[in-house]
Amino acid sequence: MKIKDIKVIVASPGRNFVTVKVITDEGLYGIGDATVNGREKAVVAYLEDHVIPCLIGMDPMRIEDIWQYLYRGAYWRRGPITMAAISGIDMALWDIKGKAAQMPLYQLLGGRSRDKVMVYKHVGGLTIEETVDGVLAMREQGLDAIRAQVSIPGLPPIYGTGPGSDQAKGGMVQARPVEEVWSTHKYLPLIPKLFEKVRDAVGWDVHLLHDVHHRLTPIEAARLGKDLEPYRLFWLEDAVPAENQDGFRLIRQHTTIPIALGEIFNTIWDFQHLISEQLIDYVRATSVHAGGVTGLRRIFDFAAIYHARSACHGPMDVSPVAMGCNIHVDTWVPNFGIQEFSGYTDATHEMFPHAWSYERGYLQPGEAPGHGVDIDEAVAARHPYEPAYLPVARLEDGTMFNW
Ligand code: EZ4
Ligand code: CO
């Protein structure tokens, strides 16, 4: 079998997605996700100009070899654009191998380790009351794990807190980044109050999560972690910008709150010290940004020996293709933690017919060969690319802020 052609399809059925389709001379094809939110076209150029011409004629069964060829061959290792391109190709090759073997991907990985994959969904509110109501509604929908966020009173809604703000275009995602306002001293005392009210309302038989979106310093995160300890959170996510990894040592010295990190990391090297020094508990790597199924599997295996668990990033901008790969890995991985799942627009489901399924807080990979996700190119053609960016933030005095 040889790689005959590789197409790159860009479409926006709710969010912008970059999808690769690897076609073989035997007619089998595989699909991969190569989306980098807000920098989509950079990955398209990387694939079309520098990756695809090198892969034509290669044996698609040599997944590991092609991964190493693209990673080492770039010379410029790592980085989100390179790794998204590798991820897209890698997913498509696993898809082809699964179809050739007539086996679902989780079987190729080693088979099922659990009956179902627990997910968490997001609740945001402009007020604590709104978030509490949202959490209660999620609980009604069967969720056993819920991420709760709230806006800062007196300031405009911040990312992840307005109703539907990080779910679809038309909210805060626009052609230029929306400029939000951030205030750490107003945020820090607010979040423990939020979780006090949420616990009072939903009780203790549910996992509660919170995402800081990289907005604190290490000592501020330590303070927040201590203040949240009475509410027994499942995790505190992206507490500080992770470029300075030593900050996590400081957080650990002060609090027992479990720490989640890594949705913007791309390789095992980014995680090496945080995992091996046992500074994080949940690894937020995801197939589309961490080198596909091949990269993800390697990172989670490494994490297992340091008691860290998998927690694939899965917002709406991680396409149903990457979600499919994540769910197969989640079904196999021995040290599974949780899977983020935001859901998708109807147009996104229509564009990506998928064997995976969601029901009342849990996902299943399905039994279709490969990862079981396809692309309907006619539907894709009806949803052209539109520039869309996540927000930036400024302090109240206008200073550009971290996130
Ligand atoms: O910031 O979707 O944990 N999930 C998140 C998401 C991401 C955006 C960008 O991928 O933090 O809200
Ligand atoms: Co996050």
User: Which band of pLDDT confidence, cut at 50, 70 and 90, is reported for residue 160?
Assistant: confident
* Closest-lying ligand 1 atom to the alpha carbon of residue 284: 3
From 170-184, 345-359, 360-374, the region with the lowest mean pLDDT: 170-184
Tell me if 311 CB under 6 Å of ligand 1: no
C-alpha span between 398 and 400 (Å, rounded):
6
Residues 6+ apart with CB under 8 A from 276: 306
Tell me if 37 CB under 6 Å of ligand 1: yes
For position 173, what pLDDT does the model report? Answer: 57
Predicted confidence (pLDDT) per residue in 247-302, tens digit: 999 999 999 999 999 999 999 999 999 999 999 999 999 999 999 999 999 999 99
Q: How far is CA 392 from CA 188, 220, 403, in A?
A: 19, 20, 6
Residue nearest to atom 7 of ligand 1 (CA): 315
Ligand 1 pocket: which of 17, 211, 340 to mutate (most atoms within 8 A of CB): 211
Q: Taking 90 as the threshold, does the pLDDT of residue 67 lie above it? A: yes
* Closest-lying ligand 1 atom to the alpha carbon of residue 213: 11
The arithmetic mean of pLDDT across residues 180-190, rounded, is 96
Going from the Cα of 17 to the center of ligand 2, the distance in angstroms, rounded, reads 19
- Number of C-beta neighbours around residue 106 at 10 A: 23
pLDDT above 70 as % of the chain: 97
Q: Taking 70 as the threshold, does the pLDDT of residue 168 lie above it? A: no
For position 167, what pLDDT does the model report? Answer: 45
Q: Taking 90 as the threshold, does the pLDDT of residue 402 lie above it? A: no
Tell me if 33 CB under 6 Å of ligand 1: no
Going from the Cα of 371 to the center of ligand 2, the distance in angstroms, rounded, reads 24
C-alpha span between 236 and 214 (Å, rounded):
11
Residue nearest to atom 6 of ligand 1 (CA): 315
Predicted confidence (pLDDT) per residue in 311-339, tens digit: 999 999 999 999 999 999 999 999 999 99
The arithmetic mean of pLDDT across residues 143-161, rounded, is 91
Tell me if 263 CB under 6 Å of ligand 1: yes
For position 170, what pLDDT does the model report? Answer: 44
| E strand or H helix that includes residue 187 | helix 184-202
For position 347, what pLDDT does the model report? Answer: 97
**Positions marked active-site:** 159, 213
Tell me if 315 CB under 6 Å of ligand 1: yes
pLDDT averaged over every residue in the chain: 95
pTM score > 0.85 for this model? yes
Q: Taking 70 as the threshold, does the pLDDT of residue 195 lie above it? A: yes
C-alpha span between 208 and 195 (Å, rounded):
8
Tell me if 317 CB under 6 Å of ligand 1: yes
Task: Return the ligand number nearest the Cα of 316.
Answer: 1
